[in-house]
Amino acid sequence: MAARKPKPADAIADLVESLLIELGEDPTRQGLKATPDRVARALRELTDGYGVRPEDVIADAIFDQDYDEMVVVKDITFFSLCEHHMLPFFGQVHVGYLPKGRVVGLSKIPRLIEVYAHRLQIQEQLTREIAEALNGALSPSGVGVVVEARHLCMEMRGVERPGGRMITSCMLGTFRRDPRTRSEFLDLVRPPTV
């Protein structure tokens, strides 16, 4: 007789085991034995943004700088889970801001995005949270954030045509008020037309 397997350490693993049974699976079969633990570890990692304060992520990388031209960081890849189905949505974030005496180290922007993406999200909120975090930390003249993403909860379930992307944006300050600033930003992040 097989020894009774040790109790999983993470409560999520127990829940996944019940889920497997509910789905009609046998969690004791070879291929699934380690699955509850693996799923628990994966879910913990993909939601580790809950334990982090976004302002702490960038606090030590904000520098006083007399630079007042637009700073743009584009094509930052992110992966998140939608809060409606807990299925992946993923794509690119483009960020721009007009500094007013303060800039942030460029490597910190992807990290900031990850903190918000590693929570259950909807794309509109993710977009706004990134923009507001930069606005709060840098007090720039303006911030623009554009997010393009594919949503597996739509594509896998056949609601939408596979490959379709959803685009959201959040414009603050001069990016909202000044059409020229906004179009300069949008021109910079627009993919090259072929």
**Closest C-alpha to 149, from 116, 182, 175, 171:** 116
Q: Which phi and psi (to 5°) does residue 97 adopt?
A: -150, 155
Q: Which stretch binds Zn ion (CB under 5 A): 45-53, 94-102, 135-143, 149-157?
A: 149-157
The verdict on whether 94 is a catalytic residue reads: no
Task: Tell me the two tokens of residue 146.
Answer: 């554009």
> Which residues have C-beta within 8 Å of that of residue 137, sequence separation ≥ 6?
55, 58, 59, 62, 104
**Cβ nearer to Zn ion, comparing 85 with 108:** 85
The verdict on whether 123 is a catalytic residue reads: yes
Measured between its terminal Cα atoms, the distance across the chain in Å is 64
**Cβ nearer to Zn ion, comparing 128 with 182:** 128
With CB atoms as reference, the residue minimizing the distance to Zn ion is 153
CB of 82 to Zn ion, least distance (A): 3
**Closest C-alpha to 147, from 173, 113, 104:** 113
CB of 16 to Zn ion, least distance (A): 20
Any contact of residue 150 with Zn ion (CB under 5 A)?
no
**Cβ nearer to Zn ion, comparing 85 with 111:** 85
Active-site hit among 92, 153, 160, 184: 153
Any contact of residue 52 with Zn ion (CB under 5 A)?
no
CB of 149 to Zn ion, least distance (A): 11
CB of 117 to Zn ion, least distance (A): 14
Which CA distances in Å does 2 have to 6, 18, 30?
A: 12, 20, 12
Any contact of residue 157 with Zn ion (CB under 5 A)?
no
Interface residue with Zn ion, options 12, 58, 81, 82 (CB under 5 A): 82
Q: Coil, strand, or helix at residue 19?
A: helix
**Cβ nearer to Zn ion, comparing 85 with 150:** 85
Q: Coil, strand, or helix at residue 184?
A: helix
Tracing tokens 């909120």 back to the chain, one arrives at 125
Q: What amino acid is encoded at 190 in this protein?
A: R
**Cβ nearer to Zn ion, comparing 34 with 156:** 156
Give contact residues for Zn ion (rule: CB under 5 A).
Answer: 82, 84-85, 153
Tell me the catalytic residues: 82-85, 123, 151, 153
